[in-house]
Chains A and B, each alone.
Chain A
Amino acid sequence: MSRERERILAAIRRAQAGAGSPTPPCGTEGHRQAGSLDRASVLDRFVGRVEDYRAKVTRGSSSALYRVLAPALAARPVRRLVVPADLPEAWVLALPPGIEILRDEPGALLSHGQLSAAGGVLTGCALGIAETGTLVLDGGAGQGRRALTLLPDYHLCVILASQVVETVPEAMDRLAPVVRSRGAPLTFVSGPSATSDIELSRVEGVHGPQTLEVVLVEDA
């Protein structure tokens, strides 16, 4: 095994010697590192771009979260809802009655089968990217492990207005610390799962959630 390693490294060094010195990188840092929109426009763009993926977005305030969560869930045949153990209690309280809550507790993790059979999952997220209509999960507070947002057919995701950035570079700047410090796994979610493999007709809902719904929480 280490013989292969030395072989490859030696071949690389030979190739580099033969190829001469590299051209120094030029024209770097010319692209945008941040956006230029005001906050209201960033949020509007985020909502519009998420909707472009045919995901539903509702805007609400944290004091009246139940006004948004209850109708969203009532409109769907979700009887059992998965939530991460550390989902804010206020969000759990905002859920309509009659829905069984399945908590993914560290000591009593839900099995993949249970997750697959559950009707939906409610989580928060790490941040949102307006320019691309993307939600990013990093396994941090209120998000749970990756399987939670993958196996249920319906993903209801709550995002705070303060979590929305305009561009991809801004998002990576914010995410870098958790990757560097705890090797956080990142999942970028842009709309429901989809395929265009058959005659390029877009079909939503393949292996990941068939429906993505986003609640944007704005506080005055």
Chain B
Amino acid sequence: MRSRPLPTFPSTAPSALGDEQLRANLRKATTTIRRKRASVVQELPDWEELRARARAIKEGAMAELDRHLLKLEESVTAAGGVVHWAADAAEATRLVGDLVSAAGAREVVKVKSITTDEVGLNEALAARGIAAVETDLAELIIQLAGESSSHFLVPAIHKNRSQIRDLFREHLGPPDLSDEPGDLAEAARLHLRQRFLKAQVAVSGANFAVAETGTVGVVESEGNGRMCLTLPRVLITLMGIEKVLPRLGDLEVFLQLLPRSATGERMNPYTSLWTGVTPGDGPQEFHLILLDNGRTRVLADPVGRQALHCIRCSACLNICPVYERVGGHAYHAPYPGPIGSILMPQLLGPGVHDSLPFASTLCGACAEVCPVGIEIPRVLLHLRARASQGRVKGGGGVPGSGGKEEIRERERALPSAAPSAPLLERCLFRVGGWLLRRPRAYRWALRLGRRLQPALAEKGWIPRLPGMGSGWTLGRDLPALPEESFQEWWEREGCGRAASPTGDGSGGEGNRGARGGPGRKGGPP
């Protein structure tokens, strides 16, 4: 699917981690949004019921996706719109290009849309000599900077005001522009107003599309969305097939969940809902492109398909301890953060983005804030298993992604011990599992470790592990084994005597039940 491998998360995260400015920007932004979100979420007494309802609606929509899409096509057509279908990015961009050309335009104004980023629309249009003008302030900033988005909602979260002022001075003028956010926004307003007034064609994404009535919705703040959806003669909307909602009555649920989860507002400034073409009001030609681009692949996975329920609120990004420290660019994907880590590997298939499900601490905060109840940690584990199975089998059974070569490529890029890692890793896990089931052997291993560790430990910490363990200590110190383990303390205090000792557990015991009494099971000291 892709000719060259994408950089892996472990290879890009260190430089992001080392960027003090980036980390300060991210910390400030994510903490602010988290606080706002929490305060407006607790205002609603039925938040959990809304989440449950949203999840049920999305599950229902996915279960009969074919029927809902056909109904949507019928409704949009009846309302005066035209529906197109695009199986992949190439078809989607070709369709948009053809429609723009048919309208006789050389320039389109764009509403912020991650889906158009996903298919590389701007680049594809540029190749046909069509200029795509981003009109969302943050999208404009990163378009001028020639960068890519690092967050769903505030794509320029990684840039500060003086960096933005410099960009605007260079591209928009005036040369004495200040770095006050109000002045910067005004400069963008002036720059874009004329473009809005003369634009013939607009391109947008969609937050929802209602099968029952053909109503399509865009949620925004600045009014650039309304400009694009109202002023041009032709409107082209590109939406993923998973955005369909069965009934008009479903909208209220998402209109309550999305703004509060996203920007921490009771309602975003503007929500536009349009149904086909309205004579004398707004665009007189409306095209809706339904995009697959890997979504049916996601749908085929009973565990992973819930990633399609995502409404792109970015609450999971803002709460994620990993995202907060590395930002969106480290993920090298249009959808970053926890949701990106479960969506991207599925959209593109095994072999690509396999490192993303590992870019998580599995703390579960993302699942707790997700307004549609996606069990992100569960899907992360599912995809980790898939990635490691693919690796053990040497990439066998990876459909159509050139995954095998890519896995080899990636392993070459890892530290030197890595090529043998899968085997060693498996041995280690097997030995670890064996020890954890045998308390006596476990304690013996602990004593051995304690005897060996003075060579490595400094003041209670191990700053560097040898061999393949070195990767573990690249970014963190390992706590040294303590002088006395919890088990030993337990025994010294005489607490364990009442319980009968078990000796070597005979397999299959796992970590269930406290058959040996508390403290008898092996556990981390």
> Taking the complex as formed, is A203 at the interface, i.e. its CB lies under 8 A from any CB of chain B?
yes
Q: Tell whether B385 is near chain A: CB-to-CB under 8 Å.
A: no
In the docked arrangement, what's the CA distance between A207 and B190, Å? 9
The reply to whether B56 and A27 contact each other, CB–CB distance below 8 Å, is yes
| A31/B53 in contact, CB under 8 A | yes
A15-23, A69-77, A92-100: which lies at the interface: A15-23
Q: A57 to chain B: closest CB distance in Å?
A: 15
B483 at the interface (CB under 8 A from A): no
Contact of B156 among A1, A176, A197 (CB under 8 A): A197
Contact B59 A193 (CB under 8 A): no
How far is B63's CA from A18's CA once the two chains are assembled, in angstroms? 12
Per a CB cutoff under 8 Å, which of A19, A32, A113 touches B300? A19
A178-211 at interface with B (beta carbon < 8 Å):
179-180, 183-201, 203, 205-209
Are A26's CB and B56's CB within 8 A? Answer: yes
Q: Are A133 and B86 in contact, CB atoms less than 8 angstroms apart?
A: no
A15 to chain B, nearest CB (A): 4
- Report yes or no: B85 in contact with A8, Cβ–Cβ below 8 A: yes
Contact (Cβ within 8 A) A16 B137: no
Which single residue of chain B is at the shortest CB-CB distance from A29?
A: B53
Q: Which residue of A lies closest to B227 (CB)?
A: A207
Least Cβ–Cβ distance between A13 and chain B, in angstroms: 6
Chain B interface residue bracket vs A = 35 or more
Q: Tell me whether A168 and B296 are in contact (CB under 8 A).
A: no
Pick out which of these stretches binds chain A: B125-133, B260-268, B353-361, B403-411: B260-268
Check A8 against B185 for contact (C-beta < 8 Å).
no
Which A residue sits closest to B29, measured CB to CB?
A: A200
Q: Does B221 contact A (CB under 8 A)?
A: yes
Question: Is B266's CB under 8 angstroms from A15's CB?
Answer: no
CB-defined contacts of B141 to chain A, threshold 8 Å = 197
A190's contact among B196, B224, B266, B280, by CB below 8 Å, is which? B266
Contact A190 B265 (CB under 8 A): yes
Q: Produce 1/0 per residue, A141-168, CB < 8 A to B.
A: 0000111001000000000000000001
Which B residues, 257 to 297, have Cβ-Cβ distances below 8 Å to chain A?
A: 259, 263, 265-276, 278, 280-282, 290, 292, 296-297
Q: Is B172 an interface residue (CB 8 A)?
A: no
Q: B214 contacts which chain A residues (CB < 8 A)? A: 183
Q: Is the CB of A206 within 8 A of B272?
A: no
- Tell me the bound Cα distance from A37 to B235 in angstroms: 41
Which of the 9-residue segments B42-50, B113-121, B327-335 touches chain A? B42-50
How many whole Å from B453's CB to the nearest CB in chain A?
A: 46
Query: Is there a chain A Cβ closer than 8 Å to B33's Cβ?
Result: yes
Q: Which residues of B contact A1 (CB under 8 A)?
A: 84-85
8 new A-B contacts, CB < 8 A, other than A26-B56, A179-B215, are A22-B60, A25-B60, A28-B53, A49-B266, A179-B248, A183-B215, A207-B224, A209-B223
Nearest 3 A-B pairs (CB), nearest first?
A208-B223, A22-B63, A183-B275
